[in-house]
């Protein structure tokens, strides 16, 4: 993490509202893989608690030191077989990279977290990590972002997460559109609309947005009948939201 550089004061401003949530997330998941963690306070697990507490206290004032501690915490997680905790710690490292302005490095770290989460079938965490990967690759690498967002959608499907899946598909379509791959973008957005109209799904703001974008894309390509059909869908979605 020695290559991370950035303005700490700027980082303070951009993460102040989220740091509490990050600390809570790390604490809540740190020993989630270990059913006996409440009974065993010694050894490596006690060290993990101490390291995470120390890292959380330094996230804003000394992010590089916090990153070093999270690296140490990751090693403990790996040695103890705490897969879910390791994924969460890696995501915390990505969060720090992003906070200090190292977006490219953050994308790589989030991708690492996503791959690890997939290997452990932690689909909800994989969804979040792939989405973060795509967001940090945009707008410099639309192709990479499209792959990441589609991976997020696939993970969300396995996790049974409807809204994150719709959002990931929407973002994937946007990245594909930026690449001039309109046909693929259309297919991705159509999938998002289909997911949103599943009987068990509830209408959401992202679904309305992706349906509107799909209608505009179809109109731009002269597919007026299809566009009108989607526009009717948008109207139905708005009615369902009111």
Determine what percent of the chain is predicted with pLDDT higher than 90: 31
Determine what percent of the chain is predicted with pLDDT higher than 70: 74
Report yes or no: 215 and 203 within 8 Å, Cβ to Cβ: no
CATH topology of domain 122-242: 1.25.40
Task: Check pLDDT > 80 for residue 5.
Answer: no
Q: Which two tokens stand for residue 95?
A: 């969060």
Please state the domain extents for the chain: 1-101, 122-242
- If one compares 73 and 200, the residue with the highest pLDDT of the two is 73
Helices marked H in 120-223 — which ranges?
123-137, 142-159, 162-178, 182-196, 205-220
């Amino acid at each position: 993490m020695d290559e991370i550089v950035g303005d700490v004061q700027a980082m303070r401003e951009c993460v102040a509202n989220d740091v509490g949530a990050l600390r809570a997330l790390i604490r809540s998941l740190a020993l989630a893989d270990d059913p006996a963690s409440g009974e065993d306070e010694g050894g490596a697990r006690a060290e993990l608690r101490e390291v995470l507490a120390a890292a959380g206290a330094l996230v804003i004032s000394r992010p590089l030191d916090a990153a070093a501690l999270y690296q140490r915490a990751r090693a403990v997680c790996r040695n103890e077989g705490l897969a879910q905790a390791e994924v969460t710690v890696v995501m915390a490292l990505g969060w720090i990279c992003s906070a200090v302005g190292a977006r490219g490095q953050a994308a790589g770290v989030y991708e690492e977290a996503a791959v690890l989460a997939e290997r452990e079938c932690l689909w909800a965490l994989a969804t979040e990590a792939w989405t973060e990967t795509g967001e940090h690759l945009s707008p410099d690498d639309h192709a990479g972002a499209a792959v990441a967002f589609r991976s997020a959608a696939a993970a969300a499907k396995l996790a049974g997460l409807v809204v994150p899946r719709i959002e990931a598909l929407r973002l994937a379509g946007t990245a594909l559109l930026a690449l001039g791959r309109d046909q693929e973008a259309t297919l991705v957005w159509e999938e998002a609309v289909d997911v949103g109209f599943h009987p068990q799904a509830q209408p959401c703001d992202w679904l309305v947005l992706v349906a509107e974008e799909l209608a505009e894309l179809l109109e731009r390509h002269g597919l007026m009948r299809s566009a009108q059909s989607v526009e009717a869908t948008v109207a139905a979605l708005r009615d369902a939201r009111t």
